[in-house]
Amino acid sequence: MIGFIQLTALGFTLAFHFEYPKAHKGLPYLPAIDWIGTLGLCLGLMGLYALLVRLFEARWPGEVRPRPLLLGCGALLGLGLFCTVYAIYAMMGVASFRGVNGLDGVGGVLLVAIVAGFGEEILFRGVVFRVLEESLGTLLAVTLSAALFGLMHAGNPGATTFSSVAIAIEAGGMLACAYIWSRSLWPPIGIHLAWNFTQGGLFSQPISGQAATGLLNFPLSPMANPLITGGAFGPEASVVSLAVCVSLGAVFLVLAIRAGRWRPLSFRLLLD
């Protein structure tokens, strides 16, 4: 029930952001309305999650307690992760800098990154992973929620079997491990948001198959192997991103186990 309501709310948030510029019918498009509306709806997603957990689970959701430091650290990690990917591309000679595009497309990419960071993390880590973990334990929860996360991206433009598997492991698995370690949604939100923004808003690379124009004109060679560059789907579908993100996920995993936050297998049905 919580998941269905959150998914519906996320759909309304995305619809507002993408449809508002088309729906003003002769009136001037006001970026401020787009920003205020989209950001307000994102905060509303968090508030709705807290309310639903309180109503259905009779507890205060500590996982959404405001923790700006964790959000900031997560954002720095997301930025650093994708910059690391691009540094590897530069060393391999498959990335070539061709100048600056300007700021025209940056704001739109940032808004979409915020919606994805908040909406997808609340839904997949806050609802899907958490309920599965309570029912089945951490290992199966990571496996199943990551697989579902990869499957959700299987219909995106340029998607392949490898891109879906890569997304499942490097994003679904790594972000779940970030949540396990912190027991807070803020680190995965920060990582997810900053990775997407850096990918599209700074380096102008497709985000899960969706074209983006950001600050820099820094293309990858179309002659390079798609397993290296990710092809039309974008760098997320590359072995480079896979290796970089799995490395961070392994760090979170070790920290979570050492902190005693890895839960054993169990088979307790929860319907929340």
What is the per-residue pLDDT across 231-269, written as a single tens digit (0 to 9) for each?
999 999 999 999 999 999 999 999 999 999 999 988 776
Segment 29-70, tens digit of pLDDT: 777 887 888 888 888 888 888 988 998 888 989 999 999 999
Position 227 pLDDT exceeds 90: yes
Position 271 pLDDT exceeds 60: no
Q: What is the pLDDT of residue 122?
A: 93
What is the arithmetic mean of pLDDT over 177-189? 97
SS3 readout for the chain: CHHHHHHHHHHHHHHHHHHHHHHCCCCCCCHHHHHHHHHHHHHHHHHHHHHHHHHHHCCCCHHHCCCHHHHHHHHHHHHHHHHHHHHHHHHHCCECCCCECCCCCHHHHHHHHHHHHHHHHHHHHHHHHHHHHHHHCHHHHHHHHHHHHHHHCCCCCCCCHHHHHHHHHHHHHHHHHHHHHHCCCHHHHHHHHHHHHHHHHHCCCCECCECCCCCECCCECCCCCHHHHCHHHCHHHCHHHHHHHHHHHHHHHHHHHHCCCCCCCCCCCCCC
> What confidence tier does 21 reach under pLDDT thresholds 50, 70, 90?
low
Q: What is the pLDDT of residue 56?
A: 87
Percent of the chain with pLDDT over 70: 88
